[in-house]
Amino acid sequence: MASITMKSNERYFAKGLGNKQEIIPLLRRDYYSRLVEDLKANGFRIASATTEIRLAREFGFCYGVDRAVEYAYETRERFPSKRIFITGEIIHNPRVNGRLVEMGVLFLPQTPDVAARFAEVRDEDVVLLPAFGVETSAMEHLLGKNCILVDTTCGSVLNVWKSVIRYAEDGFTAIVHGKYQHEETRATCSQVTRSENGRYLVVRDMEEARLVCDYIEGRGERGGFLARFRPASSPGFDPDRDLEQIGVANQTTMLSSESLAIAEAIRAAMARRHGADETARRFRSFDTICSATQDRQDAVKALIDEGIDLMVVIGGFNSSNTTHLLEIAAHAAPSYHIEDSACLVSADAIRHKPLDSAAPILTTGWLPAGPVRIGMTAGASTPNSEIGAAVERIFTFRGEPIPVLETA
């Protein structure tokens, strides 16, 4: 498939466009924060007499996001007179996507009809492929056009694709821990069905994984199972046939502890059904959570262990990896997922998206009076500029100047 095997050339760019140095000043202008750099140099901590903000030691832009944003800026600089399209959000951050719009990048419609989706793309136009990757049908359609492709698909996503392709080729059904409507998971599942007999099933959480385990062990009801998983399974999926050999993978941004627990639960169900020796032949699992996702989750846990009174988590409201940072923090302290610093409305009001909420809400009384220790982290699609702006806004609400940090 193109995103894995194609080599870069003058019509397909997957390793940059050769003009990174020219766009570094633009990236610095749009996303850099001196305050965040000073915070890192000061032990990830800034404090006044009554307000302390502790920043997680891993946060914000990961390598894959950095790379995707750089490629988008390189593309605009390399092709100043060409129309540039993007197949969807390059990353899940409204500020970054909004900046691309300002730069003249055109967002294609999100319709399942591939021909309609790319109808506006003409010869010599440029099409950006986002960090999540695109479905094989979209890639094949674009390769049939005489357009220029800039592929920013994250390397961690490509590793997942390699795993599920091997599963399919060896006759294993890929069970993917993820959100079936998420761009990355849709792209991953499309890689499975490249093989003639490729099968997949997407489970969102442990609750759904237990339904799979029940069916493996003979306790499931076929009609109910098919109805539950029809939108999240391959065409013609047959649980009686397709749960005999299983390979587990995951959307790279899911909660890592849950992915590992799901894999173990399915392995144990297979062992109870088939015995240990047969399970060794029938079951495979690879931990495909990306290292950046893992590092950010571990850093939130460490921050909680240090002791905080509340947590602010910054990232796009549709960002999966940001939601899982909130999920970890919410078990330990009042926690608020904000999209950007503007969501910090006042010292009394905050616009945030609770876990399992369909939309953001406005909450009052979020910032307590008196001494407070605030933990702060950000999803992998959040630029430092938004983190720094949030820190500044909190000190403003507290009526205190931003402390001068002693940095080397």
Per-residue pLDDT of the chain (408 residues; tens, 9 = 90+): 445 656 677 899 999 999 999 999 999 999 999 999 999 999 999 999 999 999 999 999 999 999 999 999 999 999 999 999 999 999 999 999 999 999 999 999 999 899 999 999 999 999 999 999 999 999 999 999 989 999 999 999 999 999 999 999 999 999 999 999 999 999 999 999 999 989 999 999 999 999 999 999 999 999 999 999 999 999 999 999 999 999 999 999 999 899 999 999 999 999 999 999 999 999 999 877 788 899 999 999 999 999 999 999 999 999 999 999 999 999 999 999 999 999 999 999 999 999 989 999 999 999 999 999 999 999 999 999 999 999 999 999 999 999 988 765
Specify whether 133 is located in the same domain as 192: no
Q: Tell me which residue of 245, 95, 78, 91 sits closest to 172, measured CA to CA.
A: 245
Percent of all residues in the chain with a pLDDT value above 70, rounded to a whole number? 98
Let me know if residue 196 belongs to a domain.
yes
Do both 144 and 19 map to the same domain?
yes
Task: Please tell me whether residues 276 and 391 are part of one structural domain.
Answer: no
Q: In terms of domains, do 96 and 210 share one? A: no
The count of domains in the chain is: 3
Q: Is residue 316 located within the same domain as residue 220?
A: no
Domain coverage including residue 51 = 43-61+291-397
User: Is 3 part of any domain?
Assistant: no
Catalytic entry in 184, 208, 327, 386: 184
Residues 131 and 176 in one domain: no
How far is residue 61's CA from residue 69's CA, in Å, rounded to a whole number? Answer: 10
C-alpha 342: how far from chain center = 22
Any domain includes 8:
no
In a domain, 185, yes or no: yes
CB-based contact 161:4 (threshold 8 Å): yes
- 57 and 130 co-located in one domain: no
Same structural domain, 379 and 317: yes
End-of-domain residue from the set 285, 302, 331:
285
Q: Which of 228, 284, 230, 287 is nearest to 254 (CA)?
A: 287
36 neighbors 42 (Cβ within 8 angstroms): no
Q: What residue type is assigned to position 263 of the chain?
A: A
- Of 69, 79, 73, the residue nearest 147 (C-alpha): 79
| CB-based contact 314:344 (threshold 8 Å) | no
> The dihedral of CA 92, 93, 96, 102: what is its sign?
positive
Distance CA 134, CA 143 (A): 12
Domain final residue pick, 126, 153, 180: 153
Q: Would you call 184 a catalytic residue per the annotation?
A: yes
In a domain, 402, yes or no: no
Is 76 within the bounds of a domain? yes
Q: Are residues 18 and 146 in the same domain?
A: yes
pLDDT at 289: 78
Burial of residue 376 (CB within 10 Å: 0-12, 13-18, 19+) is buried
Tokens of 208: 């759904």
CATH for 241 = 3.40.1010.20
Single residue among 153, 175, 200 that ends a domain in this structure: 153
121 lies in some domain = yes
Residues 108 and 186 reside in one and the same domain: no
Q: Do 228 and 310 belong to one domain?
A: no
For residue 380, the tally of other CB atoms under 10 A from its CB is 31
| Domain identity same for 380 and 340 | yes
Which helix H or strand E contains 285, and what residues bound it?
A: strand 283-285
The residue type at 228: R
CATH, residue 137 = 3.40.50.11270
Which residue is listed with tokens 């909004």? Answer: 98
Q: Which of 155, 56, 77 is nearest to 382 (CA)?
A: 56
Within-domain flag for 122? yes
